[in-house]
Chain A
Amino acid sequence: MQHTWDFATIFQNWEVLWVGLKGTVVMFLVTVVLGLSGGLVVGMGRYAQNSALRWPATAFVEIFRNTPVLVQIIWFYYAFPILTGIEVNPFLAAVLGISLNTMAFSAEIYRAGIQSIEPGQWEAGKAIGMTYGQTLRRIIMPVAIKRILPALTNRGIEVFKMSTLASVVAYVETLNQAKLIADLNFNPIESYTAVALIFFVVLYPVVQATYALERTLRKSD
Chain B
Amino acid sequence: MTEIVRIENLHKSFGPLEVLKGIDLTVDSGETVVLLGSSGSGKSTLLRCVNFMETPSEGQVSLHGELVGSENNGGMQYRERELCKLRTRIGMVFQHFNLFPHMTVLGNVMEGQVTVLGRSKPEAEDKARQQLERVGLADKAEEYPARLSGGQKQRVAIARALAMDPDVMLFDEVTSALDPELVGEVLKTMRQLAEEGMTMLVVTHELGFAYHVANRVLFLHEGTILEQGEPQKVLKDPETTRMREFLEGHSLFKLPD
Which residues of A approach B to under 8 Å, CB–CB? Answer: 118, 120-121, 123-124, 126-132, 134, 138-139, 142-143
Closest to B96 in A: A120
Residues from chain A with a CB closer than 8 A to the CB of B88 are: 128-129
| Contact assessment for A139 and B80 in the assembled complex, using a CB-CB cutoff below 8 Å | no
B36 to chain A, nearest CB (A): 23
Partner of A129, one of B96, B98, B164: B164
Asked if A121 meets B115 with Cβ closer than 8 Å, knowing A127-B53, A128-B87, A131-B84, the reply is: no
| Contact assessment for B102 and A128 in the assembled complex, using a CB-CB cutoff below 8 Å | no
Residues from chain B with a CB closer than 8 A to the CB of A118 are: 98
| Contact assessment for A126 and B115 in the assembled complex, using a CB-CB cutoff below 8 Å | no
Closest to B85 in A: A129
Cα distance A125–B115 in the bound complex, in angstroms: 10
A28 to chain B, nearest CB (A): 31
Number of A-B contacts (CB under 8 A): 55
| Contact assessment for B100 and A128 in the assembled complex, using a CB-CB cutoff below 8 Å | no
Interface range, B side: 20 to 34
Q: List 3 tightest A-B contacts by C-beta distance, closest first.
A: A129-B88, A128-B112, A124-B98
Considering only residues 18-76 of chain B, those with a C-beta below 8 Å from chain A are 51, 53
Asked if A126 meets B53 with Cβ closer than 8 Å, knowing A138-B111, A143-B101, the reply is: yes
Partner of A127, one of B92, B96, B100, B101: B92
Cα distance A134–B51 in the bound complex, in angstroms: 18
Residues from chain A with a CB closer than 8 A to the CB of B51 are: 127
Closest to A132 in B: B80
Cα distance A132–B94 in the bound complex, in angstroms: 19
Cα distance A134–B161 in the bound complex, in angstroms: 17
Closest to A143 in B: B102
| Contact assessment for B112 and A123 in the assembled complex, using a CB-CB cutoff below 8 Å | no
Cα distance A105–B248 in the bound complex, in angstroms: 57
B226 within 8 A of A: no
| Contact assessment for A121 and B164 in the assembled complex, using a CB-CB cutoff below 8 Å | no
| Contact assessment for B112 and A130 in the assembled complex, using a CB-CB cutoff below 8 Å | yes
Cα distance A126–B102 in the bound complex, in angstroms: 17
| Contact assessment for B84 and A129 in the assembled complex, using a CB-CB cutoff below 8 Å | yes
Partner of B87, one of A120, A126, A132, A139: A126
| Contact assessment for A124 and B87 in the assembled complex, using a CB-CB cutoff below 8 Å | no
- Can you report 19 residue pairs joining A to B where beta carbons are below 8 Å apart? A120-B98, A121-B100, A123-B53, A123-B98, A124-B98, A126-B87, A127-B51, A127-B94, A128-B164, A129-B86, A129-B112, A129-B116, A129-B164, A130-B84, A130-B112, A132-B80, A134-B115, A138-B111, A139-B111
Closest to A120 in B: B98
B243 within 8 A of A: no
Residues from chain A with a CB closer than 8 A to the CB of B115 are: 130, 134, 138
Cα distance A127–B160 in the bound complex, in angstroms: 11
A217 to chain B, nearest CB (A): 12
Considering only residues 140-181 of chain B, those with a C-beta below 8 Å from chain A are 160-161, 164
| Contact assessment for B160 and A128 in the assembled complex, using a CB-CB cutoff below 8 Å | yes
| Contact assessment for A142 and B102 in the assembled complex, using a CB-CB cutoff below 8 Å | yes
Cα distance A152–B169 in the bound complex, in angstroms: 41
Residues from chain B with a CB closer than 8 A to the CB of A130 are: 84, 112, 115-116
Cα distance A123–B51 in the bound complex, in angstroms: 11
Asked if A120 meets B102 with Cβ closer than 8 Å, knowing A129-B116, A131-B80, the reply is: no
Residues from chain A with a CB closer than 8 A to the CB of B161 are: 127-128
A111 to chain B, nearest CB (A): 20
- For the A-B complex with A123-B98, A129-B84 known, give 20 more contacts whose Cβ atoms are closer than 8 Å: A120-B96, A124-B98, A124-B99, A126-B53, A127-B51, A127-B94, A127-B161, A128-B87, A128-B160, A128-B161, A129-B85, A130-B84, A130-B115, A130-B116, A132-B80, A134-B115, A134-B116, A138-B111, A138-B115, A139-B100
B212 to chain A, nearest CB (A): 27
Cα distance A73–B197 in the bound complex, in angstroms: 68
Cα distance A126–B100 in the bound complex, in angstroms: 13
B116 to chain A, nearest CB (A): 4
Residues from chain A with a CB closer than 8 A to the CB of B94 are: 120, 123-124, 127
| Contact assessment for A121 and B98 in the assembled complex, using a CB-CB cutoff below 8 Å | yes
Residues from chain A with a CB closer than 8 A to the CB of B117 are: 129
A126 to chain B, nearest CB (A): 6
A143 to chain B, nearest CB (A): 5
